[in-house]
């Protein structure tokens, strides 16, 4: 889903988006740039990062790439310094970077530390350093997930990190409010991304057919739809919103274990299978 019309006006604002060389982070960066923000693309894939920046420049956007390992403090410092030197300010931090390594209960101590280090701790440290440079009216937007709200067999690391991110957002909002800085979370459900693309073997129709069983709107999401929510929350139109999680999930989080189906259909389905 693409739309050339800017949702809101972010002209004059500068955004850093972590984990944005590809996938959802890149989609968010494209939307923010289309809305007028200068964007810093953050990640370790230089080829993809520079390719994205070049495409944004062609469209007339202001963008730069920062090769940054968010688990290294000196890399974060360099990214922030490069952003200020290039654009002169920082108004929006989007903590999007994450990994999906998850062996559930069988995960090792090292795997726990690695996942939490990337998905949670690095976001906290990036926020700590960025907020020192932000002025009133700025905002931190954390990417949560429906995975951080519900139980799932065989998983532990990723859901725990996202649940912690949602709680971190609440505490951050209260802490930063006296400085005039907002903190909000956005929680997507299944979104067309490299991971969903792999699971569906590159078939968007197949992804939508599978996703329809869990999303009342009948499909998986578009990255630009997540980006639109981020853009709104980053804008002055959302100046009275802080400390909350915005589900951008096609209705995923309103369903219970019955997936929105009445008992009669479940009895018919299961008993028919048994017979």
**Bridge partners for 66 per DSSP:** 42
Sheet-wide strand order for 139-143: 63-67, 38-43, 14-17, 92-95, 139-143, 182-188, 245-248
**What domains appear along the chain, each with residue ranges and CATH number?**
14-274 (3.40.50.720)
The total number of residues written for the chain in this structure: 275
pLDDT of residue 267: 78
Distance (Å, whole) CA 143 – CA 9 = 21
Question: CA 107 to CA 101: how far, in whole Å?
Answer: 9
Structure tokens at 22: 């590809």
Distance CA 162, CA 168 (A): 10
- How much is the pLDDT for 264? 82
C-alpha distance from residue 20 to each of 28, 93, 205, 224, 250 (Å): 8, 12, 25, 13, 23
In the set 65, 87, 126, 158, the catalytic residue is: 158
> For residue 123, what pLDDT is reported?
98
Buried b (16+ CB within 10 A) or exposed e, 10-44: beebbbbbbbbbbbbbbbbbbbbbbbbbbbbbbbe
**Cα angle 109, 114, 120; round to 5:** 115
Instruction: Look up 65 and say whether it is catalytic.
Output: no
Identify the helix (H) or strand (E) that includes residue 272.
helix 263-274
Buried b / exposed e across 124-159, counting CB within 10 Å, b at 16+?
A: bbbbeebbeebeeebbbbbbbbbbbbeeeeebbbbb
pLDDT tens track, the chain, 275 positions: 555 677 899 999 999 999 999 999 999 999 999 999 999 999 999 999 999 999 999 999 999 999 999 999 999 999 999 999 999 999 999 999 999 989 999 999 999 999 999 999 999 999 999 999 999 999 999 999 999 999 888 899 999 999 999 999 999 999 999 999 999 999 999 999 888 888 899 999 999 999 998 999 999 999 999 999 999 999 999 999 999 999 999 999 999 887 887 778 877 888 877 65
């Amino acid at each position: 889903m693409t739309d050339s019309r800017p949702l809101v006006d972010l002209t004059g604002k500068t955004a850093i988006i972590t984990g944005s060389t590809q996938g959802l982070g890149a989609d968010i960066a494209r939307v923010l740039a289309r809305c007028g923000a200068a964007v810093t693309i953050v990640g370790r894939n230089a080829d993809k990062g520079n390719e994205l920046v070049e495409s944004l420049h062609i469209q007339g956007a202001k963008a730069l790439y920062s090769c940054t390992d968010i688990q290294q403090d000196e890399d974060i410092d360099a990214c922030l310094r490069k952003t200020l030197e290039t654009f002169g300010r920082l108004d929006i931090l989007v903590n999007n970077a994450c990994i999906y390594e998850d062996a559930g209960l069988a995960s090792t101590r090292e795997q726990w530390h690695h996942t939490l280090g990337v998905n949670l701790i690095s976001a906290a440290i990036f926020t700590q350093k960025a907020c020192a440079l932000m002025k009133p009216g700025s905002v931190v937007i954390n990417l949560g997930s429906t995975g951080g709200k519900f139980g799932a067999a065989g998983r532990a690391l990723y859901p725990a990190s996202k649940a912690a991110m949602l709680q971190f957002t609440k505490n951050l909002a209260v802490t930063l409010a006296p400085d005039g800085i907002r903190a909000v979370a956005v929680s997507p459900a299944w979104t067309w991304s490299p991971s969903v693309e792999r699971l569906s073997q590159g078939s968007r129709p197949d992804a939508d057919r599978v996703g329809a069983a869990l999303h009342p709107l009948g499909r998986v999401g578009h990255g630009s739809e997540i980006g639109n929510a981020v853009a709104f929350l980053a804008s002055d139109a959302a100046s009275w919103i802080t400390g909350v999680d915005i589900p951008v999930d096609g209705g995923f989080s309103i369903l219970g274990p019955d997936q929105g189906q009445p008992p009669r259909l479940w009895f018919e389905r299961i008993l028919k299978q048994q017979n």
